[in-house]
Amino acid sequence: MDKNMINRFVLPEDLKQALDSAEKIIFPKTKAQLVELCYGPNGAARFNVSYDISEKESYVEADVVRCKNGPSVNFTDAYMRRRDPDCMYIGDELPTDKPKFEDRWGYKFSQLRQETMNWISHQELVVMPFMMGSKLHGYESLVIAPANAAFFAFALANIQKFISIEDVEEGYTPRAIIYVAPPFRHTHFGGKQVVVHYRSEQLHEIFSYNLYPGPSAKKGVFSALIDIGEKEGWVTNHASAALLQTPYDSEVVFMHEGASGGGKSEMLEEVHRESDERVLLGEHTVTGERFEIRLGETCEIFPIADDMVMAHRDMQDDSHKLAITDAENGWFLRVDGDNYYGNIPMYERISIHPSEPVEFFNIDGVPGATCLIWEHIKEPNGKPCSNPRVILPREMIDNIYPDDEAALVDVRSFGVRMPPSTKENPNYGVMGLVQVVPPALAWLWRLVAPRGFKNPSIEDNAKSNVMTSEGVGSYWPFATGKKITQANMLLKQITEASETLYVLIPNQHIGVYRIGFAGEWIAREYLARRGGVVKKKQLVPARCPLFGYSLDEMKIDGQTIRRKFLRPELQSKLGEEGYDKGAEIITDFFKEELKQFLVPELDPLGREIIELCMNDAPLEAYLELTPIKRVTGR
């Protein structure tokens, strides 16, 4: 294709020179063309993505299989099948709390940047513009990848918004650029995933030295949006969101946050039922006694976002509710919970019969056959891969909320994985099914963002009950700047949305009861049917001030939820003694994590809130600073 098309773009000078020298550049006109590029220059049924890493050695990074419903990509190195949480480095000199490239690797990033540009100048490339963010507030962006790794560009074309080269006008100025240089993983970094972020006032560059799209095409874009929001004064939250339409035709918007494993994907799922249509609320971990309820017609779910929620400043109004849109154009879905046909019917149906090809990762694809999302690739130990993925464009999702319309959040929940807790073996799993908290406490929970019990994404944590923090807003692993900056921005976002109801929702356990995600689904149904409002007479202060209020009564579809699920201290196997020991564990954890935010840059209101926690203040003290406005009646 004519290299003169480069002139349509406003690019850094070193990149422009590298592209001018490149052997060949392909500017995709359509996603269909991009799909064909995934199978190599000859359109093979099976294509190996390989690179020379020395004069005598090449390395096969990935195997791309042509399936009926789209390309299936599998990496030869099992390590490359999931995001390395320690792969982010900062190559610029702007303020950051993240590891600096020079500190870790012993030389300035400018040297590696030049080597990267030299490598790019000798490659056949795919250069693809895309729109990053939402339809309402998108940012022009660009990806440069080797042509034999077109599957990476295709992933990005579905996660964000693909732009045909025919629609690019002169003066296209990327706000973010992703560079993909896979062999550097071997030649420079000993086989490790490395993603380097280089920020300036007008451009966020992401140098991906590996081919798994998780830390770059997915979370790297998240990083760029957080960086842009930091400069412009808004936040991209790590959350799912949905509009719930009740059986009575009222509508309530939920936004659910939490560390990985906190129930973001589950918030978009239908209530899981037993074979007799009842819902298993909890099972006693000692006696095996089961508590089930019957639910008739449940709320209809209109998904808004799966993982990244943009709360752009230009969408906010005077409603005192947070206005949000999806920050993605497609969802990078983990389907490790789909182990057999019929387990996740909607995603199975969409991926088997997509309206256009979709892309699979870590799933066993056979040339010419239909790729099935429950057939996960095997790891070297013979077990199924724990991180199988499918990328589904959001327009394929049933009942999807329009991406050109902002939604106002009524209920903002935070999910926490909780361990089993008894008086004999006390632990921090003492949160009730729904805890109503003032904005001040909602902010503290997002500062600490506990990963909690047996987190599925953290291997070491999955082997113990040790609580760790995912950091500010649970999006800190993807942020490139300063923690305190994000803490202040999140405080402003929460306190300005004073007409939102803030709640905490446990999953896995409530005291001695194993609940999985049933509590989340029941809480969602209950709050939706009440318009995201609770009555004062239903609330009692929790024994642990960090939990705000507990519900003292809860009735849904004419059935009363037992108080032992609402107030765990009433469980005979836990009691007040066991509860208080668990509350002490979580309170001590909060105090330890919050110390780092007591710096001069902290917002004065934030300092007051943190000092309340440090001094074991009662709930009333938090309410004085930030009242709960969505509590009505007596």
Say if residue 26's pLDDT is above 60. yes
Q: Are 150 and 278 contained in the same domain?
A: no
Per-residue pLDDT of 481-534, as tens digits, reads 999 999 999 999 999 999 999 999 999 999 999 999 999 999 999 999 999 999
Q: Are 283 and 210 contained in the same domain?
A: no
Say if residue 163's pLDDT is above 80. yes
Q: Does residue 43 belong to any structural domain of this protein?
A: no
Q: Does residue 278 belong to any structural domain of this protein?
A: yes
Q: Are 540 and 588 contained in the same domain?
A: yes
Per-residue pLDDT of 387-416, as tens digits, reads 999 999 999 999 999 999 999 999 999 999
Q: Are 223 and 288 contained in the same domain?
A: no
Q: Are 140 and 288 contained in the same domain?
A: no
Q: The CATH number of the domain where 210 resides is what?
A: 3.40.449.10
Q: The CATH number of the domain where 465 resides is what?
A: 3.90.228
Q: Are 178 and 107 contained in the same domain?
A: yes
Per-residue pLDDT of 30-73, as tens digits, reads 999 999 999 999 999 999 999 999 988 999 999 999 999 999 99
Q: Are 215 and 282 contained in the same domain?
A: no
How many structural domains are present in the chain? Answer: 2
Say if residue 462's pLDDT is above 70. no
Phi, psi dihedrals of residue 588, rounded to the nearest 5°: -65, -40
Name, in order, each residue with C-beta under 8 angstroms of 154's C-beta and a sequence gap of 6 or more.
31, 34, 35, 37, 38, 71, 359
Q: Following DSSP, what letter does each residue of 374-394 receive, concatenated?
A: T-BPBPTTSSBPS--EEEEEG
Q: Are 121 and 190 contained in the same domain?
A: yes
Q: Does residue 615 belong to any structural domain of this protein?
A: yes
Q: Does residue 172 belong to any structural domain of this protein?
A: yes
Name, in order, each residue with C-beta under 8 angstroms of 620's C-beta and a sequence gap of 6 or more.
none
Q: Which two tokens stand for residue 227?
A: 């960086």
Domain hosting 124: range is 3-35+85-232
Q: Are 137 and 14 contained in the same domain?
A: yes
Name, in order, each residue with C-beta under 8 angstroms of 291's C-beta and a sequence gap of 6 or more.
280, 281, 282, 283, 513, 562, 565
Q: Are 141 and 189 contained in the same domain?
A: yes
Q: How confident is the model at residue 467 (pLDDT cuts 50, 70, 90)?
A: confident
- Please tell me the predicted confidence (pLDDT) of residue 337: 83
- Please tell me the predicted confidence (pLDDT) of residue 82: 94
Q: Does residue 276 belong to any structural domain of this protein?
A: yes
Q: Does residue 311 belong to any structural domain of this protein?
A: no
Q: Which two tokens stand for residue 25?
A: 């550049």
Alpha carbon distance 375, 359 (integer Å): 14
Q: Does residue 50 belong to any structural domain of this protein?
A: no
Per-residue pLDDT of 553-593, as tens digits, reads 999 988 999 999 999 999 999 999 999 999 999 999 999 99
Per-residue pLDDT of 185-233, as tens digits, reads 999 999 999 999 999 999 999 999 999 999 999 999 999 999 999 999 9
Q: How confident is the model at residue 459 (pLDDT cuts 50, 70, 90)?
A: very low
Q: Are 292 and 153 contained in the same domain?
A: no
- Please tell me the predicted confidence (pLDDT) of residue 456: 55
Where among 232, 256, 284 does a domain terminate?
232
Per-residue pLDDT of 309-339, as tens digits, reads 999 999 999 999 999 999 999 999 999 888 8
Say if residue 455's pLDDT is above 70. no
Q: Are 427 and 293 contained in the same domain?
A: yes
Q: Does residue 355 belong to any structural domain of this protein?
A: no
Rounded to an integer, the average pLDDT of 460-480 is 79
Task: Report the chain's mean pLDDT, rounded to a whole number.
Answer: 95
Say if residue 461's pLDDT is above 60. no
- Location of structure tokens 């390989």: 50
Rounded to an integer, the average pLDDT of 128-140 is 97
516 torsion bin: left (phi>0), alpha (psi -120 to 50), beta (else) = left
